[in-house]
A and B are shown apart, each in its own frame.
Chain A
Amino acid sequence: MSHPLHKDYAGAKLGMWLFLFTELILFSGLFLLYGAYLARYPHEFAAAGREMHLFFGTLNTAILITSSLLVAMAVTAIQRDERRTTLLLLGGTVLCAAVFLFNKYLEWSAEIGRGIYPGSPKLVAGPPGESVFYGLYYLTVGLHGLHVLVGGTLLTVVALRVRRGTIHGGDYVWLENGALYWHLVDLIWIFIFPLYYLIL
């Protein structure tokens, strides 16, 4: 029996969407804790929230939204079979990811320098709500940062495959799924940013 080449784009995208749901639910556990503890410690949360570096938060939001735009444009470019443009746009996306992580490094360094990190003596001595706030902050943003790293790596692999020609205008489901993953990373940040930096 000859094995027909089985390419099921709709199937591949369905699988990716299902996987993205599981990622959302993974983060939802942390958001759930945020909600429960916010209700218990509204004042401590507000006090801690005002200490956050709004500059880094805003800058990183702008960077991530730009990167999402770039990767969406990369999908359009590959549909038109413009390989060079696709590569440039993907390179831009990965660059944004790197800058995002670099900013995160600066921001965390500043905070750790002030003695704010999970289990630090300063937090242990401080009011209990602040310790919970920063504990959640580090875990949520850390997990998100890990996803930025994974997404950046994924898009790098996709870019290499575009260059080799295994992803092209007739077969680009890998790029599309990579872009979907990147949008998820962006989307989760869109929730993290207001919750930790803005509304408190």
Chain B
Amino acid sequence: MNPAEQNQTETGSFWNDTGRTGIAAWIFSTDHKRIGLLYFYSVLSFFLIAVVLGVLLRIELMAPGRTIMGPQAYNAVFTVHGVLMIFLFIIPGFPGSFGNLIMPIQIGARDVAFPRLNLFSWWLYIVGAAAIVTSLFTGGGPPDTGWTFYVPFSARTGTNVTLAVLGVFIVGFSSILTGVNFITTIHRLRAPGMTWKRLPLFVWSLYATAWVQILATPILGITLVLVIAERVLGAGLFDPGRGGDPIMFQHLFWIYSHPAVYIMILPAMGVVSEIIPVFARKPVFGYNMIAFSSLAIAAAGSLVWGHHMYTSGMSDTAILVFSFLTFIVAIPSAIKVFNWVSTLYKGSISLEAPMLFILSFILLFSIGGLTGLILGAAATDIHVHDTQFVVGHFHYTIFGGAGFTFFGAMHYWLPKFYGRRYAEKPAVIGWALMFVGFNITYFSMMVLGLKGMPRRYYDYLPEFAPLNLTSTIGSWILVGGLVLILVNLFRGLRSGDPVGQNPWGGATLEWSIPTPPPTENFSADPVVTHGPYDFKGAGIP
């Protein structure tokens, strides 16, 4: 877009903090930008490991029968793939990395409200991650329960579930502290003039996310404690032979884990609301409704956990109520989609890499959301419950939704922090490969599920072979695109063309400070005089 205006000398930037040197300058820094990058590289590392595991799963399913691993190894690989992707990548991903990098700057603050607590959160994340990684190689070997840790199997299996669950507990604590920190920051540290109605929509989405983190995560904590108690003490609270009830575990688990999908997707929706107006050169359509719908999704999404349990033996009344509530969540989600599309209408759309990722979000998330309604309706759910359809649906929402947005956010915001940018053409080619590969991989899964192929099986009937092979080939295209965009992005950040203060022409505050940002973001406390998408007010042509 705009050519580089002026490139600040690097002395003032947060890269050149004085004080500690070497790695200590990072792992003991309380600067939100450094912590954001720590989170970013941590979650990205676990993402890449989990991608490799995912590809291994697809290779195993390439042909019927044993291809590269047996059933026990397959169980372990899909469990670890899920645990890493969910608990170590996508839940901490947005709040930890882009939330930390961007949110304080967008509200005109120098840092978060509790910088030391922020660093402590990252350390907790690392300790929890270390426990999870250790659990793979010690005790009875990697857990094989699926990422959901359902009892009674998780209470009995000889694999190292106890340590893995403890790790997830610690990571959950880290997530709670990030939530506490962000809500306090957004309430207390907004710059003069940064009214609630001038809050960038990414901040609104983080605010809603933080409430979910605070209100839902403790339930996961206590549930995991109970699983450990079952295993270590034999408390019998979920053991039918002793008066317990395994369905109570499912309730407690999903009371957290359904809202947790909104921890994954809400910040992504915030990123979409940031990028679309900038690349459509138009103020966002329906600001109030987008902000409100984030809160509405967070609230309604907390009441729908039962839709994971239609086949568990829950009462029909409960199924009816949960099904109804599930359909209600579709309303605020649709409000967002319509507002984004209305923002694009008659906009002067510029199709660069971040925008392409965001536009594919709208399509993929819509497919994921609509297939979610197939699962939310009790009658159809009974047919597709626990099939590959669920796997396809979930990847459409979380990978196609949150994942693609994460890559869009990387292309949009990381140049700001590195002062250099990636090459456009490979990024677009990589995006196209990912988009095509993604649809081949996961659409095949949904069709397989409708035909009746169950999830979590390493083997299948011969009639499922062609679509499984298609899906596996799609996964290679997907990974090819992923490798291309990552190599291109990181090469660009290292040695690409310099970027100026405001390469995309955005009106939010992060584009009003030098590139890379100085240590304390603003040389003087900013006074905000215009809204986040008021391009005229920000003096951007």
Contacts and interface: CB of A to CB of B under 8 A. Distances in A.
Contacts of B69: none
Interface stretch (A13-21, A69-77, A102-110, A155-163): A13-21
A98 interface: no
Given A15-B181, A132-B244, A26 B218 contact: yes
Interface stretch (B235-243, B349-357, B358-366): B235-243
Contacts of A36: 245, 248
A13 to B, nearest CB: 9
Contacts of A8: 113, 188-189
A19 B524 CA distance: 32
Contacts of B222: 26-30
Contact of A18 (B180, B223, B235): B180
A170 interface: no
Nearest to A117: B233
Interface in B491-541: 520, 523-524
Interface string B188-225: 11000000000000000000000000110111011101
Nearest to A13: B184
B226 interface: yes
Contacts of A18: 179-180, 183-184, 214
Given A1-B520, A11-B184, A41-B243, A119 B225 contact: no
Interface magnitude class on chain A: 35 or more
B226 A132 contact: no
A178 B242 CA distance: 40
B234 interface: yes
Contact of A143 (B225, B241, B242, B255): B225
A141 to B, nearest CB: 13
Interface residues of B, number: 40
A124 B242 CA distance: 7
Interface string B37-71: 00000000000000000000000000000000000
Contact of B218 (A1, A10, A29): A29
A118 B189 CA distance: 48
B171 to A, nearest CB: 15
B218 A19 contact: no
A23 B253 CA distance: 17
Contact of B187 (A11, A40, A130, A135): A11
A132 B214 contact: no
A164 interface: no
B243 A10 contact: no
B219 A128 contact: no
Contact of B252 (A21, A32, A138, A143): A32
B269 to A, nearest CB: 23
Interface in B358-414: none
B187 A14 contact: yes
A25 B302 CA distance: 14
Contact of B188 (A14, A28, A135, A138): A14
A130 to B, nearest CB: 8
B218 A135 contact: no
B482 interface: no
A196 B406 CA distance: 48
Contacts of B520: 1, 3
A112 to B, nearest CB: 12
Given A119-B235, A138-B235, A1 B523 contact: yes
A118 B255 CA distance: 26
A131 interface: yes
Given A119-B234, A135-B236, A25 B184 contact: no
Contacts of B243: 37, 40-41, 44, 127-132
Given A128-B242, A132-B236, A135-B236, A23 B180 contact: no
A153 interface: no
A14 B255 CA distance: 25
Given A21-B215, A26-B218, A132-B243, A15 B113 contact: yes
Which of B234, B242, B524 has the most A CB atoms < 10 Å from its CB? B242
A143 B223 CA distance: 13
B229 interface: yes
A118 B229 contact: yes
A29 B216 CA distance: 11
A139 B226 contact: yes
Given A10-B188, A22-B214, A28-B219, A15 B114 contact: yes
B176 interface: yes
A135 B235 contact: yes
A131 B229 CA distance: 13
Contact of B237 (A21, A135, A143): A135
Nearest to B12: A1
A8 B112 CA distance: 12
A29 B181 contact: no
Given A1-B523, A8-B188, A15-B184, 7 more contacts: A8-B113, A15-B117, A21-B214, A22-B180, A28-B219, A119-B233, A119-B236
Q: Which 7 A-B pairs have the closest CB atoms?
A: A128-B243, A119-B234, A29-B222, A11-B188, A26-B218, A25-B218, A135-B235
14 contacts: A11-B184, A11-B189, A14-B188, A18-B184, A22-B215, A22-B218, A26-B218, A44-B243, A118-B236, A128-B242, A131-B236, A131-B243, A132-B244, A139-B235
